[in-house]
Amino acid sequence: MKGDYQDLVDEISALLGAPATLENRDFRLIAFGAHDSDDDLAMDPVRTRSILTRQSTADVRSWFEAFGIARATGPVRIPAAPDAGVFRGRICLPVRYRGIVQGYVWLLDQEPGKPGPEPAALDAAMEVAQRIGVLLAEEAKAGADLSREFLAVLTAGRGWQQDMAVAALRVALGPDGDGLHAVVCVTPWPGEAPASVPGAAAVCVVPRRSGGEPGGGAGPGAGTGTGAGTGSEPAGRPALAVLLRLRSTDALAPALAAVARLLPRAAGATGATGATAPGGNGPAGKATGGKATGGGSGGSGGATAGTAAPTATTRGATAGVADPVRGLADLPAAWEQAVAAARAAAAQPRFGPVAQWAAIGPYRMLATLAADPVDDPAARTLLAPTHRELARTAEIFLDCAGQAGRAAAALGIHRQTLYYRLARVEQLTGLDLDEGEDRLLLHMALKASRLA
């Protein structure tokens, strides 16, 4: 399909004698013609960024849409705007199918005073744009159909319902159904699923739970292994599920770049710090604002004095990636892994905005156990906002394997101050920090309290 788009873009470039670019209606780059011009203005900042990052910013998108390109049925001329990085005017050919805009073909307009493309050439280019519209609409339709089947696999109850959903998805995927796949969870996700995600076999939005119950299927953590209770999503928030098609396990890393590009759109709806406006037009992989204010390293000795205590704050968008699986039978369990990794990424900034299941350490177990907010009576008082510093002290002490010297150094306090705080922790919790099981309970409660 990608080759078809490239051929059609090259055809338009030849008709109009100018390099063309094709973007979908979300302003994500699909294909572009060769740029062999000596004209420095042929690659202004907006076009350069579109090609290098495969997307445009929210501001650029809004500026172009203000010229009515989403409603136009013919070529639209847009003047230059140097302040916005548009050094050369544009000609936009709207790509439509049955009246619905599917994308846009962009060409650089001629400089003022020079003749532009002939009307006949523009008419011929619009005919090619219509053929592109048919392809985009067919691809969107196929993706939507597959999305329904993918969603059914993730939300069906265990037993014959799940078996039937997996069988339907296998038929829809054809020979690819037996290949290697990775499941991704992006949460929270605003609105509908994107029309397409590079490298994805299917995408769908898993809805928010209603009344505390999963949207169909068993409850979170039901089943065995990785908590393969289907139909769950992070803390009742809507999530985007992506089924990535892989040629090998080595192909996972580049596939994650496409996942990172989804985060600005997701984070833009949460109001997270550093997020861009909705529409998926921010810098790829930069939506790391709104992270948990809790801290303390999950590994020994990694804590820092600037780490805050675990709190239930609003977090930005995060993504989790499951271990690759071959075939489709293990997709529900892989979805649970992806959900757990996304929750871990929200809980621990050190995992980054895109976390892989294999890399989240103890959160593999904690995310499975703590499907709902933790409310252990022993830790309840300690987790109150008034005791945030004590909770932070306890977590870092436990992160440091109970070694007082390391914990005091990480906190930047005197050892006697540490002992005083730990005594207060014992008073508030009723736990004995000299007892291994009490330490385990408190450490799990503090870590699990971070999970979104």
Same domain, 289 and 350: yes
* pLDDT score for 148: 84
DSSP state of 112: T
- The CATH number assigned to the domain holding 77 equals 3.30.450.40
Same domain, 126 and 110: yes
Same domain, 189 and 105: no
* pLDDT score for 426: 92
Same domain, 126 and 176: no
Whether the per-residue pLDDT at 446 is higher than 80: the answer is yes
Residue 26 binned pLDDT confidence (cut-offs 50, 70, 90): confident
* pLDDT score for 236: 60
* pLDDT score for 302: 35
Same domain, 58 and 182: no
CA separation for the pair 355, 343 (Å, rounded): 9
- For 314, other C-beta atoms within 10 Å of its C-beta total 12
* 435 vs 3, more confident: 435
Q: Show which of 109, 138, 167 is a domain's final residue.
A: 138
CA separation for the pair 318, 117 (Å, rounded): 45
* Global confidence as pTM: 0.52
Residue 127: both structure tokens together:
């005919």
Same domain, 40 and 101: yes
Structural domains of the chain, count: 3
Q: Show which of 138, 169, 198 is a domain's final residue.
A: 138
Residue 22's H or E segment, with its range, is strand 20-24
Same domain, 45 and 106: yes
Q: Rounded to whole angstroms, what are the CA distances from 167 to 152, 171, 326? A: 11, 6, 15
Place of tokens 């136009």: 72
145-159, 162-176, 312-326, 330-344: least confidently modelled range: 312-326
Could you give the residue ranges of the DSSP H alpha helices within 66-218?
119-155, 160-173
Place of tokens 């076999």: 201
10-14, 127-131, 243-247: least confidently modelled range: 243-247
Same domain, 129 and 89: yes
CA separation for the pair 153, 335 (Å, rounded): 10
Same domain, 337 and 417: no
Q: Show which of 337, 369, 401 is a domain's final residue.
A: 369
Mean pLDDT value across residues 329-351:
90
* pLDDT score for 225: 33
Same domain, 66 and 171: no
Same domain, 243 and 108: no
- The CATH number assigned to the domain holding 437 equals 1.10.10.2840
**Structural domain harbouring 286:** 139-369
Q: How many residues appear in the chain?
A: 452
Mean pLDDT value across residues 54-77:
82
Same domain, 287 and 309: yes
At 354-397, the pLDDT tens digits run: 999 999 888 888 876 655 556 778 888 888 889 989 989 998 99
Whole-number mean pLDDT of the chain?
75
* 375 vs 19, more confident: 19
DSSP state of 218: S
